[in-house]
Amino acid sequence: MADVVPLHQPRWEPDEHLTEAAIAGRLRLGDLPRPERAWLIAQLTHAGHTTDTIADWLRCSRRTVQNVRCEPVAVLTMLLLAAQRATDQAEHRARAAQVTPASVVDLAREVERLKTTRATLIDQLAEMRRRCDTPCPPQIVIIHPPRRRTRRGPEVTLPLFETGGTPCDI
């Protein structure tokens, strides 16, 4: 029998109670799926908690927290949280008549765009992991090519001794 492929998979949404469970020490990072790991660490980082504190709460190494923080889902989540904070601040200023309602609408659109981008990225990463037999690396490494030096013409140097004429008398 062929595998049944669902027509629509529900969009991933974070569990809002993970943050409280992590702070209480009831979670292990290794027990969470990748998107939730990235989301949780982004939330805790955005709240101002240090890497060492997060590692203690999640019973993992400092390096693991740093690696998860570099994953695309975590980066997008931090951008989303920053956009949400900016939206909240803009709404607050709008109530104080400092910002136009149009800018609040623009910021709300940006938040929704980032949420959609994050959900799409999670779906694409999951699909790529399903297609590959080998696991994906834990982080993306970007190597920039070295800058090309501009070619200069041959350097002109002055001779150490004068050429031509008669030799010096000693």
pLDDT in tens, 140-164: 666 666 666 666 655 656 565 566 6
For the ranges 38-52, 69-83, 86-100, 114-128, which has the lowest average pLDDT? 86-100
For the ranges 20-24, 65-69, 125-129, 134-138, which has the lowest average pLDDT? 134-138
- Helices 34-46 & 72-95, crossing angle to 10 degrees? 40
Report yes or no: 46 and 83 within 8 Å, Cβ to Cβ. no
Asked if residue 31 has pLDDT above 80, the reply is yes
Greatest Cα-to-Cα distance within the chain, rounded to the nearest angstrom: 106
Residues 6+ apart with CB under 8 A from 56: none
Report yes or no: 76 and 120 within 8 Å, Cβ to Cβ. no
Pair of tokens at residue 147: 């800058």
**DSSP sequence for 71-127:** SHHHHHHHHHHHHHHHHHHHHHHHHTTSS-HHHHHHHHHHHHHHHHHHHHHHHHHHH
Pair of tokens at residue 83: 């956009």
State how far the Cα of 87 lies from the Cα of 4, in Å rounded to an integer. Answer: 41
Output the 3-class SS for 138-159: CCCCCCCCCCCCCCCCCCCCCC
- Overall pTM > 0.75: no
Q: Is 170 helix (H, G, I), strand (E, B) or coil?
A: coil
Residue type, 119: A
